[in-house]
Amino acid sequence: MENNFDVIIIGGGPGGYVCAIRAAQLGLKTACIESRGTLGGTCLNVGCIPSKSLLNLSETYHKAQKDFNAQGIEFTGLKLNLDKMMANKNKSVQVLTKGIEFLFKKNKVTYIKGKGVLFSKNDVVVYEGEKKTSYKSKNIVIATGSGPSTLPGMEIDEENIVSSTGALALKEVPKNFIVIGGGYIGLEMGSVWSRLGSNVTVLEYLDHITPGMDKEISSEFMKILTKQGFKFKLNSKVTSVKNKGDQVEVAFTNNETSEEEKILADKVLVAVGRKPYTEGLNLTKMGIKKDKQGRIEVNKKLQTSINNIYAIGDVIKGPMLAHKAEEEGIAVAEIIAGQAGHVNYNIIPGVVYTSPEVAVVGKTEEELKKENINYKVGKFPFIANSRAKVNNETDGFVKILADNKTDRVLGVHMIGPHTGDMIAEMALAMEFGASAEDIARTCHAHPTHTEAVKEAALAVDKRAIHF
């Protein structure tokens, strides 16, 4: 009976651990298998959380170096202690991973350490070193996440050629830092090392950064990062990355001119996307179907081709975001418990935690055009927002897209200070089916950055007050 569960979740990342807690709350006998040694998955151990620690600390350092003096905070002897900064980051990670263990105990979730492998529809075998233990479960949830993608012929050594994991643990500030891929990871980690003193060059295959993002935001984002010292080489297809003693040589071809170029750097970050982690689970033998991109196929109820085996998070389609995985984890737990769990994929916010932050939810202008939806645009720049002005953080703007006829908000795209927090209000408004006028008529505290949202909503009807 001890090894018999209602739900076994393979993977203890944001999708898996949240699913486990919700399942246990609903009275299901739940276990979560994790092989990493700590809970929290990529996000907590080597992703979202440690990167946010370094983003926050590097921003403070950068401000102290560049802005404080001019703002009347004078001091001498400012010094970077990278070891201490890394230790601070590691401590935050440790506290948070332990926090999940505590939540498991509190909710009576059994935490099984080891690698889980599917054996049959109701059996999971867990390998931990030499030890092999079998467990039975009425339901199984695959929440194994993803790992970094690489390019053909290039090997990540996590020393000189690093993935996000290595980029979070460099021992010194590289003089020249090349980032392959102008996506979320590249721009966040590029920001960290740029603020700490590296010359950052981003090589991006496409003719713009952050693919899939509203184009106006993405080009403003690139302008702001360029002003901060980033160098961008767009239309650049990286063809090889080679260790050359102390340096790394990156070769790339211009997609338009076919010209080849080679540049050297101390460290190279490969951030060209992530791939679902499905190896060693026994999926093929079990007959669990995958799509062309190697993601596990699921139906609306997140069931795989075997109906008591579910999959959530980065191993299935959709944005590879922790909060999307969490929503799916909760939905699956509720579905297993006989409730109507569901995820609204139209309203999943995305945030790039650079400075300024970029935050988006809903449709982009490009998507609305493609879908032939008539829309109105309301925009408001942070330079006209009093709080942003007094804080000397005036880069960026808020853009609200609303249906031309019904005024319903279809998408919100922002670049500016604190937008990563402000996007929650927009997601909530959209969940409630708000119109731009609803937002415009909602009283927003003064002076706050959130007034930029209210003003953008007013601007949809061409009646912004401060611009």
CB of 350 to ligand NAI, least distance (A): 6
Partners of residue 133 on adjacent β-strands:
126
Residues 346-405 that bind ligand NAI (CB under 6 A): 351-353
Q: Which stretch binds ligand NAI (CB under 6 A): 82-90, 204-212, 255-263, 438-446?
A: 204-212
**Is the CB of residue 58 less than 8 Å from the CB of residue 369?**
no
Interaction pattern, residues 149-188, with ligand NAI; x per rule: CB under 6 A: --x----------------------------xxxxxxx-x
- The least CB distance from residue 64 to ligand NAI, in Å, is 24
Q: Cβ of residue 323: shortest distance to ligand NAI, in angstroms? A: 8
- Told to check if 321 binds ligand NAI by CB under 6 A, we report yes
* 22, 267, 274, 449: which one binds ligand NAI (CB under 6 A): 274
Cα–Cα distance, 324 to 312 (Å, whole number):
9
Q: Which residues are catalytic?
A: 446
Q: How far is Cα 324 from Cα 327, in angstroms, rounded to an integer?
A: 5
**Are residues 7 and 23 in contact, defined by beta-carbon separation less than 8 angstroms?**
yes
Residue that the structure tokens 């505590």 belong to: 102
Q: Any residues with CB less than 8 A from the CB of 428 and at least 6 apart, and which?
A: none
Distance (Å) of CA 210 to CA 273, 324, 367, 436: 11, 18, 15, 26
Is 203 among the residues that bind ligand NAI (CB under 6 A)? yes
The reply on whether position 124 binds ligand NAI by CB under 6 A is no
Per-residue x/- track, 127-146, ligand NAI (CB under 6 A): --------------------
- C-beta of 160 vs 236, nearer to ligand NAI: 236
CB-nearer residue toward ligand NAI: 119 or 232:
232
Between CA 304 and CA 320, with CA 126 as vertex, the angle to 5 degrees is 45
Q: Where are the beta strands (DSSP E) in 88-157?
A: 110-113, 115-120, 123-128, 131-142, 146-148
Question: From the list 206, 306, 347, 384, which residue makes contact with ligand NAI (rule: CB under 6 A)?
Answer: 206
The radius of gyration of the chain from alpha carbons, rounded to an integer in Å, stands at 23
SS3 of residue 401 by DSSP: strand
Contact flag: residue 294 with ligand NAI (CB under 6 A)? no
Whole-angstrom distance, CA of residue 362 vs CA of residue 346? 6
Site membership for ligand NAI, residue 415 (CB under 6 A): no
Judged by the rule CB under 6 A, the positions of this chain that interact with ligand NAI are 151, 180-186, 188, 203-206, 211, 236-238, 271-274, 319-321, 351-353
